[in-house]
Structure 1
Amino acid sequence: MSIAVSLPAEDKTEWWCQMLRDLMPDWDIYPMSKVPDPEKVTYSVVWRPTTGAMTPFKNLKAIVSLGAGIDHVLADKELPEDVPIIRTVGTDLTQRMKEYVALHVLRHHRELPAIQANQNRQAWEQIIVPPATGRRVGVMGLGNLGAAAAELLTQIGFQVAGWSRAPKDIPGVQCYAGAEGFGAFLEGTEILVCLLPLTENTRGILNADTFNRLKRGASVINAARGPHLVDSDLIEALNSGQIGGATLDVFHVEPLPAAHPFWTHPKVTVTPHVASLIDAPTGSKIVAKNIRTFQETGSVPDLADAKRGY
């Protein structure tokens, strides 16, 4: 039995292959481009696979997404039908996302971009902000990552609201659900964090209508997927002052093109998709365990629902 591994960068593909070989010496593990016999491939481990890359593998038992999202797998229009998709999640990824969200929520809350701008012009200007208890933060998406981030923000002291497709109950978090709860969730929110899965219902959800429902001068943090955001709507909202600042970790095209206005906009912080970036030494252990469990039982706790999109 063979495992085919594919990441956009060849060196990272080989890194993952070597990590998995050390953990699974009884399996043949190859970069997808170097598989000697496609008929023997029973699992593929992928991040942003190219269209048709998995078509030759007629005996796939499961596809492993190197991340919590599966939208990058579903983007393959030639994806083999009815092959289960396994998400890669774990305490390491959750911890990384919690750190990222807390960092950038606090940056916006304490007006750090403005303080840095003042330093650049040698201006001693004390910016007074309310304590966290006087600031409402809204978290869109209450799955593993979103729920953990929301709970951490409550521990810091923020007023935290959460919104998801289905009702959730998280201690200390005011939870809203569905289209009927979206407006109430946004009302009064000063820092909006997007951690939603990408589906047809959430694509473009960070748009002018959403921004206009937030408190004027609110901040936006998108650490989910680039297509959640309507780029032009955000730029217009930033220029008008409706949105006071944004931190963006994900984009429609990655790497972000050099000519994109986000690079130079004074109210935008760009990070290169690192919020919850999985590394091979940690992630390979999760992948190996999931493949072995699926091979033995036909299921794993992190099995995705392709029809739902996550």
Structure 2
Amino acid sequence: MAILVHLPSFMAVPITAALREAAPDITVWNGREAAVAEEVEAIIAWGLKPGVLPAYPKLRLVCAATAGVDKLLAARDLPPGIPVTRIVDPGQQTGIAHYVLAMALRHTRALGLYAEQQRRGEWKRHPGRDVSRCRVGVLGLGEIGSEVARMFAAIGYPVSGWSRSAKYLPGVTDFTDDDGLEAMLAQSDILVCTLPLTPRTESMLNRQTLSRLPKGAFLINVGRGEHVVEPDLVALIDDGHLAGAALDVFAKEPPAADDPVWNHPRIEATPHIAADPSYELVARQCIDNLRRARDGRELLNQVDRQAGY
């Protein structure tokens, strides 16, 4: 029984160490070069290039190293019978919610503007905005989106949420379907995207959608970069319809050197750091699911490949 860690080195090294510590009886390989293909039963990965999966004839499980699985599901040679699991990490959910709340408060209290004034040596007050009059809309009410919505509601923001199926969260107005999306956008002064990336949600935040937000609205994206049509976003900010954006995810990471997000005065860009999963938890969930797969038991956090999450 063996697990192959197929990840960038910054994740591969700590996850490999955590796997070996948690399950000394399981062989763990970091990287394809060292692996014995006939022994690999599980792969931990972020994305998979063509030709990787067919090399492992005894593969019975693919484990995502994060909550998102879009890059794994995009693998053209992912066999239909191989289950895919994702990571569910309450600590990561809280960390992402903290990031979103920090960016929302930075916007609501004009802290970015004050930082600019400090650099210019300028002392000038601006009217603050009470959180009770700043309406938040959360796109996606899965584990992460629900935690984001709960945290906003707890400190007094009026909160709405939109999801594919109805959710019932205390203090959160729930919207579903296309009409519900239109209604939520129209009343969102801050829009937070926590959606999974699927064919339906790709490029969802485009000129048409973002134009439905109230004038002066602010976007926070912690979903995937592909949710946003970036030229449309930049144009709406430059035109004055949107106040700005905080982006932690990008279609290309890092963005190209000439990408306007690097120097745009009203876009906060961070390098996909809203929160990282616990590497020990990643290891434990993968090991648990591999043992379950071998025993024919139900897997934890198995992905619905049709739905995309």
Q: TM-score range by the shorter chain?
A: over 0.9
Asked whether the 8 Å contact 1:52–1:79 carries over to 2, the reply is: no
Q: Aligned equivalents of 1:125 and 1:285: distance in 2?
A: 52
**Residue-by-residue CA offset, 1:219-243 (whole Å, 9 max, x unaligned):** 1011010110001101101100111
The change in CA–CA distance for 1:128 and 1:296 in structure 2 (over 3 A counts) is farther
8 Å Cα contact 1:154/1:173 also seen in 2: yes
Paired residues for 1:95-244 under 5 Å? 95-244=94-243
Query: How many angstroms apart in 1 are the aligned matches of 2:53 and 2:8?
Result: 14
Where does 1:1-310 land on structure 2 (aligned, <5 Å)? 1-9=1-9, 12-310=11-309
User: 1:44-92 CA distances to partner (integer Å, 9 max, x unpaired)?
Assistant: 1111233322221122211100111110101222223321110111222
Where 1:50 maps in the other structure, the secondary structure is coil
Identify which range, 86-95 or 139-148, moves more after superposition: 86-95
Q: Structure 1 125/295 Cα, relative in aligned 2: closer, same or farther at 3 Å?
A: farther
**Does the residue aligned with 1:55 lie in a helix, a strand or coil?**
helix
Instruction: Say which SS state the counterpart of residue 128 (structure 2) adopts.
Output: coil
1:117 alignment partner, SS class = helix
Displacement, 1:35? 4.2
Separation in structure 2 between the aligned mates of residue 121 and residue 36 of structure 1, nearest angstrom: 56
Higher mean C-alpha deviation, range 181-190 or range 73-82: 73-82
Residue 95 (structure 1) shift: 1.6
- Spell out structure 1 runs of 4+ moving beyond 6 A: none
Deviates more, 1:285-294 or 1:12-21: 285-294
Distance 2:253 2:281 in 1: 24
Question: In structure 2, do the counterparts of structure 1 residues 262 and 59 end up closer, same or farther at CA, with 3 Å as the change threshold?
Answer: same
What CA distance in whole angstroms lies between the structure 2 residues aligned with 1:218 and 1:252? Answer: 22
Structure 2 counterpart SS, 1:129: coil
Whichever residue aligns with residue 5 of structure 1, its letter is: V
User: Kindly, what percent of the aligned residue pairs are identical?
Assistant: 34
76-85 or 137-146, which deviates more:
76-85
Alpha-carbon offset, residue 112 of structure 1: 1.4
Asked whether the equivalents of residues 8 and 48 of structure 1 are also in contact (C-alpha less than 8 Å), the reply is no
Matched positions, count: 309
State the Cα deviation string for residues 89-137 of structure 1 (Å, max 9, x = none).
1222112111111111111111111111121222222122231111100
Higher mean alpha-carbon deviation, 120-129 vs 181-190, is at 120-129
Structure 2 distance, partners of 1:202, 1:278, is: 23
Whether the aligned pair in 1 keeps the contact of 2:92 and 2:278 (CA below 8 Å) is no
TM-score (norm 2): 0.95
8 Å contact kept, 1:225–1:250:
yes
Cα distance change, pair 164–275 in 1 and its aligned pair in 2 (3 A): same
TM-score for the superposition, normalised by structure 1: 0.95
Distance (Å, rounded) in 1 between the aligned partners of 2:180 and 2:234:
26
Offset, 1:3: 0.6
Give the letter for the 1:6 counterpart: H
The answer for unaligned runs of 5 or more in structure 1 is none
Tell me, in whole angstroms, the C-alpha distance in 2 between the residues paired with 1:101 and 1:8: 26
Counterpart Cα distance in 2 of 1:224 and 1:2: 32
Task: Report Cα offsets for 1:150-180 as digits up to 9, x if no partner.
Answer: 0010001100010011111111000101112
Q: Is the 8 A contact 2:45 2:64 kept in 1?
A: yes
Conserved? CA contact 2:87–2:282, under 8 Å: yes
